[in-house]
Amino acid sequence: MPFLRNLALAVSLAISAAPAALAQSATTTVPPAAQPAMPVDVFGFADTGINLTARNPAIRPGDDFYGHANGAWTAFVKERLGPTDASFSLHAQVAEEVEGQVRAIIETPNDTPAGRQVSALYRSFMDEARIEQLGLDPIRPYLARINGIADRETLITVFSENGYNMPISVGVIPDTGDTRRYVLAVSQGGTHMPTRDHYLREGPEFDAYRAALKTYMATSFRLAGMSEPEARAERIYALERRLAETHWSMERLRDVRATYNAMTRAELVALAPQFDWNRYLDLMGFGRAERIIVQTPSAVADAGRILDEVPLETWKDWLTFSFIDAFAPYLSRPFQEAEFAFGSRALYGLQTPHPRWARSVRLVDATLGETVGQIYLDRHFPAASRATLNELIGNIRAAFNDRLGRLSWMDEPTRREALAKLEAIGTQIGGPTTPTDLTSVRQEPNDLVGNIMRLSEWGLRRDGERLAEPVDRNEWPMTAQTVGASYNVLLNQITFPAGILQKPLFDPSYDAPTNYGRIGSAIGHELGHGFDDQGRRFDRSGQLRDWWSPASSERYDAIAARLGAQFATYEPLPGFRVNAEVTMGENIGDLGGLEIAYAAYRRHVAQHGEPPVVNGLTGDQRFFLAFAQTWASHTSDNLMRQVVLTDEHAPPQYRVNGIVRNMDAWYRAFNVQPGNALYLPPEQRVRIWEEVR
């Protein structure tokens, strides 16, 4: 089940570059990485929030603003990266601090049913001696269930049972065509590498990924005591490659119109009858689903044909590996090491697993995080933070409203709709006031796999219940302690949890230029996702509807194309160029977010006066430096390849240099002139929500 695979990723990976799902569009989350062995003061931010020692003054701002703002910090981090790190960043620093705070909460929970539940799950993962003693035993009954499959009818039955995988993806999301209700969504799936490119693209790096996957498959079979492990691995790898050949590309998956294909149950049955949908959906608890969104119809139909054509024994082997892979982080050391060697080292370049306590914290956070979040809010989100943030958001909304009201390229009918959508965007700050009650899900301190299975069963049952309920617009998409932010396109809602509202990303004591340049640009970014190349196709209620006039739409697309042409030239590694189409929404979000944040900052200045020069830096200079230092990061080449292949965000250096070079105010702040490497003539600068001056 996807739930189990997501848990495995949460426990085993330090960095996740997987693209966000449609239902939670444009989510930015930063799982923590282990801190390099370095003095804490390498992150020593002055009272203003600017890290003065991180800069490299030898690099001129106009030649490489990212390097100018972060060059000394990046060099220092690169020399001291620990063996667990494929990267380190300012966001990772914050996530690490938050993880320590969460650990303190989990290890000393409240003496309540919820607190005891959190403690039991945490201790079950920390009981390494028992896990080693049990070995494969916790999942033997499930593997025996697979081994007993004698026909394709039973195969479909097992697909529907808790804990088992399926060669396509099935889940419950708000209906893109009517966001008041939930709907069943069906899409491509069945592979164990991040994208179809990992199976199909030529090159030594991809050969290495494929070899590592086959080794992992064979090792899993060998550890399970199965014969001919290499031959089994070759067969199921060939199966996954066939599935990958049918999968839609990331570019096509970003097209919200192409992925919105509403079908009746009868039409789904006709599309891929091999899955015996009526029986499968009933067994899954989705029997009431009569309307289904098939996001990748051709891939689902092809998966049905592959289901029939591939021998039953190969499907059994694929199910066996999928189950072992999902539970490897919760089994004895040989399984953990095999999963890490592929999923973390081969794919992402991590060399050593993170400490067991950190993996245990991530497991609890991924499953019972809302319970932990209530304590986190009390301890780590003061009232002053909320007050400062509310003022900042108010100015950003006002600045965005003003810009939309004055854009000459947007005609009046489109403008009215845009302003109405902006006004309707909901805001979630801090964390949910009432956590989801999971105390009915039994958790035992000596039954890790059982705990995971019971949580998975609850999640599956809850999805079935949602199909009979209206969409809960107050439900939070992330926990209070998440270091991330999001815009939910279907709910027209931005979310900023307490985890990201921590130093040095935000603090009420920082001066205005820093807070507007850092968290302000992030708020503008998320608001802007409602109007990016895909978000703009949804109206104020989150429904997929074309509310743009043809003329305004054409002008907007022309602006986006110019931005895409810039990003298409960026190449962080030879042969790995930024995918301008896949990153388009995030690039628009970055540029538009900085434009709006700067306008909001100038509104603040008009209200409170020009800030003084501090440490030789004007307010405008601190604004742009704060933005650039937000993305301070060092990334290994191996991980950078995954970022380029799988992430909807451009690499950090381009999220800075590729954005500021389009901002007139940045040119003025740092006296950037023709001859500087980042200089663009005014007529070549792309402006999303800013008029040409």
666 and 685 both lie in a single domain = yes
Cβ atoms 18, 77 nearer than 8 A: no
Percent of the chain with pLDDT over 70: 92
**Binning pLDDT at 50, 70 and 90, where does residue 86 land?**
confident
Match 């998320």 to its residue by tokens.
Answer: 526
Q: Residue 230 maps to which CATH number?
A: 1.10.1380.10
Block residue for tokens 């939930």: 182
Using the predicted structure, report yes or no on whether residue 29 has a pLDDT greater than 50: no
Q: What pLDDT sits at residue 34? A: 37
Give CA–CA dist 691/693, Å, rounded.
Answer: 6
d(CA 296, CA 248): 7
pLDDT at position 45 is: 61
What is the number of domains present in the chain? 2
Rounded percentage of the chain residues whose pLDDT exceeds 90: 87
DSSP labels, 71-93:
HHHHHHHHHH--TT-SEEEHHHH
Residue 628 belongs to a domain: yes
Distances (CA, A) of 436 to 157, 444, 541: 30, 20, 25
Calpha distance 454→459 (Å, rounded): 9
Within this chain, do residues 332 and 414 fall inside the same structural domain, yes or no? no
Spatial neighbors of 327 by CB under 8 A, at least 6 apart, are: 4, 8, 138, 139, 335, 449, 452
pLDDT for residue 13: 33
Q: How confident is the model at residue 690 (pLDDT cuts 50, 70, 90)?
A: confident
What letter represents residue 354's amino acid? H
Instruction: Give the contacts of 100 (CB within 8 A, at least 6 positions apart).
Output: none
Q: What is the pLDDT of residue 12?
A: 38
Residue 624, pLDDT above cutoff 80: yes
Distance CA 487, CA 616 (A): 36
Given a cut of 60, whether residue 18 has pLDDT beyond it is no
CB atoms within 10 A of CB 560: 20
Mean of the pLDDT values across residues 570-577?
95
Cα–Cα nearest to 448, from 61, 7, 19: 7
CATH code (residue 643): 3.40.390.10
The answer on 305 and 417 residing in a single domain is no
Q: For 207-227, what is the mean pLDDT?
A: 98
CA dist 10 to 3, 354, 366, Å? Answer: 11, 12, 7
Nearest by Cα to 327 from 169, 157, 137:
137
Predicted confidence (pLDDT) per residue in 486-505, tens digit: 999 999 999 999 999 999 99
Same-domain check for residues 658 and 693: yes
Domain presence at residue 313 = yes
pLDDT digits (tens, 9 = 90+) for 258-273: 999 999 999 999 999 9
Residues 367 and 417 in one domain: no
Domain assignment present for residue 430? The answer is no
Residues 204, 67 share a domain = no
Q: Is 244 left (phi over 0), alpha (psi -120 to 50) or beta?
A: alpha
Q: Is residue 675 part of a domain?
A: yes
Tally the C-alpha atoms within 13 A of residue 59's C-alpha that lie toward its C-beta: 17
- Residue 105 identity: I
List pLDDT tens digits, range 491-550: 999 999 999 999 999 999 999 999 999 999 999 999 999 999 999 999 999 999 999 999
Q: Indicate the average pLDDT of the chain.
A: 91
**Is 76 or 118 the better-scoring residue by pLDDT?**
118
Cα 467 from chain centre: 25
Is the pLDDT score of 42 beyond 70? Answer: no
Are 614 and 693 contained in the same domain? yes
- Whether residue 353 sits in one domain with residue 246: yes
Residue 638: is its pLDDT beyond 50? yes
For residues 580 and 521, state if they share a domain.
Answer: yes
Model pLDDT, residue 552: 97
Average pLDDT over residues 572-579: 95
Per-residue pLDDT at 2: 41
Q: Strand (E) positions, 195-309?
A: 262-264, 291-294
**CB-CB contact of 266 with 155 (8 Å):** no
Q: Quick check: is 89 in a domain?
A: no
- Rounded-to-integer distance, Cα 83 and Cα 89, Å: 15
Residue 37 lies in a domain: no
| Non-local CB neighbours of 396 within 8 Å, separated by 6+ positions | 520, 523, 524, 527, 596, 597, 600
Residue 688 CB contacts under 8 Å (≥ 6 apart), including other chains: 528, 559, 563, 588, 591, 592, 595
Q: Is the pLDDT of residue 129 over 80?
A: yes
- Distance between CA atoms of 557 and 303, rounded to whole angstroms? 35
- Give the integer Cα–Cα distance in Å for 237 and 234: 5
Q: Write the Ramachandran bin of 59: left for phi over 0, alpha for psi from -120 to 50, otherwise beta.
A: beta
Clarify whether residues 641 and 623 are in a common domain: yes
Mean pLDDT of 559-567: 97
Q: Rounded distance, CA 486 to CA 500, Å?
A: 11
Decide if 116 is inside a domain: yes
> Can you state the angle between helices 333-340 and 312-327, rounded to 10 degrees?
100
Q: Are residues 158 and 298 in the same domain?
A: yes
Would residue 103 count as lying in a domain? Answer: no
- Give me the pLDDT at residue 8, please: 42
Domain that holds residue 402: 44-80+384-425+492-693
Per-residue pLDDT band for 83 (boundaries 50, 70, 90) equals low
Tokens for 463?
Answer: 């999805």
- Per the model's pLDDT, the better-predicted residue between 237 and 75 turns out to be 237
Question: Token pair for residue 345?
Answer: 């080292």
Run of H or E including 394: helix 383-406
Same domain, 574 and 671: yes
Q: Cβ neighbours of residue 443 under 8 Å, at least 6 residues apart?
A: 117, 120, 121, 124, 451, 454
The H-or-E segment that residue 174 falls in is strand 168-175
